[in-house]
Amino acid sequence: MLCDYFAGTHWFYVHKVEAQPDQKIPQTMRKLPRDLILAFNSEGLHIFDTQRHRLTEYSYGYIIRWDGSSSQFSLTLADVSIPDYFEFSVITSQAADMDAILLDHVRAIMTEEEKIKPS
């Protein structure tokens, strides 16, 4: 059962796009199953299998950029297990919704940080 930590979370059912064999990508990401659920909330990106077992997560500080089309959504992520950024892509018809959710959360974080900056 998922706890209140995931209240207000946006859930998206997606299919992982396989990384190229020579692409530098963390082993945890390479081992993900094809069918996934991506969840976005105030803490960041959470990746689940279809039985809602959390497999990995990335806070917003590790999401470098994102982009989407009518059939695919890509995130450029940072991971301490590899020396460079990597791209994680999924097949989805909800790329526009995912983009909007990410943008809303990043704007909310930036607004909060502006409030706590000393004048």
At 21-52, the pLDDT tens digits run 888 999 999 999 999 999 999 899 999 999 99
Asked whether the predicted pLDDT for residue 1 surpasses 60, the reply is no
Host domain of residue 29: 4-116
Distance CA 47, CA 39 (A): 6
Asked whether the predicted pLDDT for residue 57 surpasses 50, the reply is yes
Q: Where are the alpha helices (DSSP H) in the chain?
A: 27-30, 95-116
Looking at residue 79, which CATH number applies to its domain?
A: 2.30.29.30
Instruction: Give the total number of structural domains in the chain.
Output: 1
Which tokens go with 101?
Answer: 């959710």
